Structure 1
Amino acid sequence: MSIEMDGLTDFQKALFDVATRKVPNEAPKLMRKIGSKARTKVARKARSLVKKKTGMYHKKWKRGKVFVGYRGELVVRVYNSSPHAHLVEDGHRMVDSEGNDLGRFVHGKKPLDKGMREFEASGEVEKETVKWLDELLAKAKL
């Protein structure tokens, strides 16, 4: 899932392009901050959707490193490192202690997908980007 910046004016978009080219070491700092906010939003959504508090599922939400994607854009991932996170996300079949199928399927809660959609709709990306651009202008780096 990717996040698009829709709330920026044309001037802010042009300024963002200039900033990422002129001071390239500042852009990953912005992406880390946005990734951390996304991780917080997703973890909060997961706590509201997944009521069972056993294991370490709720404590394993992480923000990955910033890297360059295959189209040249900066990317940061939000993921859950617990071994059963994919079961909560995607669903699983019910089995007994010996691995025999009980014939039921537990549907996935999709906390990552729902949390990222909520984060994208909140406008936090645009707010942080505008704040970052203002700070760069104030520090006279642009």
Structure 2
Amino acid sequence: MSIQMNGLTDFQRDLFNVATREVPKEAPKLMRKIGSKARSTVAKKSRSLVKKKTGMYHKKWKRGKVFVGYHGELVVRVYNSSPHAHLVEDGHWMVDHEGNKTGDFVPGKKPMDKGMREFEASGDVESETVKWLDELLRKNKL
């Protein structure tokens, strides 16, 4: 899932393009900050959707490193490192202690998808980007 910036003016968009080219070490800092905000939003959404509090599922939400994606853009991932996170996300068949299917399917709760949609709708990406651009202008780096 990718996040698009829609709330920026043309001047801010041009300034953002100049900033990422002229000050390349500053852009990953912005991406780490946005990724951390996304992680906290997704973790909060998962706590509201997944009511079972046993295990370490709620404590394993992480923000990955910033890296260059397929098309040259900066990317940061949000993921859950618990071993059963994919079962909560996608659903699973109920099994007994021997591993035999009992026939019941538990549907996935999709906390990652719902949390990222909530984060996109919140406008945090645009507000953090505007703050970052203002800070760069104030420090005379642009």
TM-score (norm. length: structure 1): 1.00
Taking the aligned partners of 1:121 and 1:3, their CA distance within structure 2 comes to: 10
Q: Secondary structure at the match of 1:5?
A: coil
State the shift of 1:65 in Å: 0.1
Q: Which residue of 2 aligns with 1:82?
A: 82
Taking the aligned partners of 1:7 and 1:81, their CA distance within structure 2 comes to: 32
State the shift of 1:49 in Å: 0.1
**Per-residue deviation, residues 61-106 of structure 1 (Å, max 9, x unmatched):** 0000000001000000000000000000000000111111111100
Q: Which residue of 1 aligns with 2:63?
A: 63
Q: Secondary structure at the match of 1:82?
A: coil
State the shift of 1:119 in Å: 0.1
- In structure 2, runs of 5+ residues without a counterpart are none
Q: Which residue of 2 aligns with 1:26?
A: 26
Q: Secondary structure at the match of 1:87?
A: helix
Instruction: Give the CA RMSD over aligned residues.
Output: 0.3
Taking the aligned partners of 2:107 and 2:2, their CA distance within structure 1 comes to: 24
Q: How many residues align?
A: 142
Q: Which residue of 2 aligns with 1:37?
A: 37
Q: Which residue of 2 aligns with 1:10?
A: 10
Amino acid corresponding to residue 12 of structure 1 in structure 2: Q
Amino acid corresponding to residue 5 of structure 2 in structure 1: M
Taking the aligned partners of 2:9 and 2:95, their CA distance within structure 1 comes to: 53
Q: Secondary structure at the match of 1:106?
A: strand
State the shift of 1:42 in Å: 0.1
TM-score (norm. length: structure 2): 1.00
Q: Secondary structure at the match of 1:7?
A: coil
Taking the aligned partners of 1:99 and 1:21, their CA distance within structure 2 comes to: 54
Q: Which residue of 2 aligns with 1:138?
A: 138
Amino acid corresponding to residue 59 of structure 2 in structure 1: K
**Per-residue deviation, residues 30-60 of structure 1 (Å, max 9, x unmatched):** 0000000000000000000000001000000
Moved over 4 A (4+): none
- In structure 1, runs of 5+ residues without a counterpart are none
Taking the aligned partners of 1:95 and 1:61, their CA distance within structure 2 comes to: 26
